[in-house]
Each structure stands twice: as structure tokens, then as C-alpha cells.
Structure 1
């Protein structure tokens, strides 16, 4: 069985952005505010329904990229793109330069954020960040060989779009905590 979200020390991080995006695409999200009289902390499941005020409801549309130029355009217009990356044993020892998978021993998948691209010594790459901290790679960043299947078996990079729903009958009458996003004041 494949581990997911492995780190350089073999830890298993339970965060799985792909599952979250699928969940939100199916269920949508609400933005909420705390009521004036509330003392609960945002993101706490202890907040009672009367302590929050539903603000807006959004459908989530997950956009996948078939071509690299689509991803570059999205990064320029909308910012970073989320992706899964299959992690191979040689990736754990990455220090610098452009990573090109040379090993076939898969350790699982990890969530990454693709923030840009470039060319180094005539080789194109994606500039990315993972959740392993600044002690790993190039202070937490890494360069991933572009133009080849370096992300492994997992889905293409993805970016969600929020579509505001204003038709009352299209807004769910109930919600669960994982659909709530608090607005900072």
C-alpha cells in the first residue's frame, strides 16, 4: 500500500489537497463571520451555529491543466498552482539544481505548490515549494524538470475557481464545519 504525503524523514502528513478540492467541488464552501457576541475562535469546531454568520456560498470548480502553457498563464494571472507529486527515494536527498527523477522506488505522494518556472543551463524547470520546511532543498524550494512526466502517476496540476451562488434555492440549507471559511476582519 502506498503512503501519502511522505517527508524527508519518512513522516506521513495527512494533508491531501486533492481530496479537499474534490470534497469542496462536491459540497461547495461558505464564507462566514463571527457574530459580535461570539467568543469562539475561528476554525474551532466548538463554535455554535448562532456564533457565526453565513456570508456567501460558492461552488468550487477544479481546473486541470493539459498543457504547460495553460499552467504558466494561470500562475501569471491567478498565482500558485497546487499539484500532487509522486515522491521517489532520490528526491529525499535533493539539495539544489533541477530535480529529474532517476529512481523508480516510489515512496508515496506529496502536495506541492508550483509558483513559477525558468530555464537553467538551457533546461526548463518548474519552481515549486513543498511542506518540508526551509532546511530541505533550496531553503524549501526546488526546481522540477519541465516537459516530462515528473509528477508521477497522480493527477495534473490543479487550481480551483470559486463561483458565487446567488440563487437562494441553489444554496444548501445545511453545512458541515469543513465547508466554512472565516473572513478576517
Structure 2
């Protein structure tokens, strides 16, 4: 969503929208911090708006993360993430000393839509309007991904996961999608990963969601 505001405004507006505001306030989106439905999140953006948010302990946005960062599936400088966390209570206020009110800070979507599962249609959507959101099946061989083009080979099903699809390419003759994960930049390839493109690997092309922003 943040990327799409930037692209639609030709770089004039670059808000960082608050993920915590979305999961805390969108009752129709699912189970808060424990997962949900991407299409509902995009629809929520058009109806209720989302305020700005940033990294933990930052002061330049309305609702930054209230959780300190932790490491997902890797050893790094942060403590390991442990167990499930309680979804924060929806707050309709900005942090102290932030210059705008909650309502003034809201950014809205103009449209929310589902994108065709055809790889060329997905590419066209990305080229025209920016990254899209996809979800896929996570298996036990995925959390330890480090580089290359991921292809599921072994391991139990762990659940679903939503990520940001922003590009594509070919590596060693294998077509791939390039995606940004949400497990910090110590995970994978500096926070990114590649997965086979055009074969619906782990359902990556089955549920593609996007929308257009309402610019201020």
C-alpha cells in the first residue's frame, strides 16, 4: 500500500502505513497478529483508512510498532521471536508529540481488487501500479531459505503466509518471482526471497490482491 501511494503520486507522497494499525483495527481481516485475509485488508483500507507507522521506538509516524524487533528462524543481533503475541487494542489516536491527529493522518485506498492468477497479468499489474500482495503455503523447508530460487521439496505444511511481490527474473534458467518477506533483513536474502514463477509454486499465484490509493 505504501509503495502504491508513492508510485501513484510519482514520489511526491511517501507515507509508511502502519501494519499494527491495520491488524489491530480491522476486525474483518481475520485473527490480528495470528493471520488473516489479504483481500479484507485492502477493502478495509478503502473504507476506514490506515494511519502512518514505522519501526519500533520511532517518533516520526502516528502509530509505529509497539513490539520490539526479534529474529525469525535465524541467529542475529535481536532476541529470537517466541510464541504468539496478543493483538494490540485498536487505538484511534497518534503517539504523543506527533503533529497530526489520527483522522488527519489517515490514508485511504480508492479501490481494492483481485488480480488474475495469469503470470503476465500479475507482471502487468506490477509494472503499471506497483507491488501486489500474495499469499502462499509455507512448508518446513521454507523458513531456512537463504538464497536461490525456492522450490518446495520436503517438510510438513506449517500454514499460510502473505508477502509482497515486487518483481521477477530468471536465475540459472529458472523463472522466478522476487518477494519481500516480513521476517527482518537478517532472514533469507536480506529479507527477500525468490520462488519459482509460472507454476503456481505453493499457491503463490492463486490469491493476488492489490488496490489503488486515494491521494491527498
CA gap of 1:155–1:53, structure 2 versus 1, over 3 A, is: same
Q: Deviations over 1:61-120 (max 9, x none)?
A: 313223101111111111111111211100011111000011251111111111100001
CA gap of 1:137–1:107, structure 2 versus 1, over 3 A, is: same
- Which of 147, 159, 168 is the aligned partner of 2:198? 147
Q: TM-score, normalised by structure 1?
A: 0.62
- Matched-pair contact (CA < 8 Å) for 1:58–1:163: yes
- Matched-pair contact (CA < 8 Å) for 1:83–1:158: yes
Q: Deviations over 1:5-63 (max 9, x none)?
A: xxxxxxx94354613124446xx24589xxxxxxxx8355147xx97469997653313
Q: How many pairs are equivalent?
A: 142
CA gap of 1:13–1:91, structure 2 versus 1, over 3 A, is: farther
- Which of 75, 92, 99 is the aligned partner of 1:45? 92
Following superposition of structure 1 onto structure 2, how do residues 25-44 of structure 1 map, counting pairs within 5 Å? 28-30=47-49, 42-43=62-63, 44=91
Larger Rg: 1
Q: TM-score, normalised by structure 2?
A: 0.54
Q: If each structure's strand is expressed as a fraction of its own residues, which one has the higher value?
A: 1
Gaps of 5+ in 2: 1-31, 52-60, 64-90, 95-100
- Matched-pair contact (CA < 8 Å) for 2:164–2:180: yes
Task: Give the corresponding residue for 1:160.
Answer: 211
Alignment partner of 1:14 is 2:56: no
Structure 1 CA distance for aligned equivalents of residues 122 and 149 of structure 2: 19
- Matched-pair contact (CA < 8 Å) for 1:129–1:141: yes
- Matched-pair contact (CA < 8 Å) for 1:118–1:124: yes
- Which of 65, 74, 78 is the aligned partner of 2:125? 74
Structure 1 CA distance for aligned equivalents of residues 182 and 120 of structure 2: 25
**Higher RCO (CA < 8 A, seq sep 6+):** 1
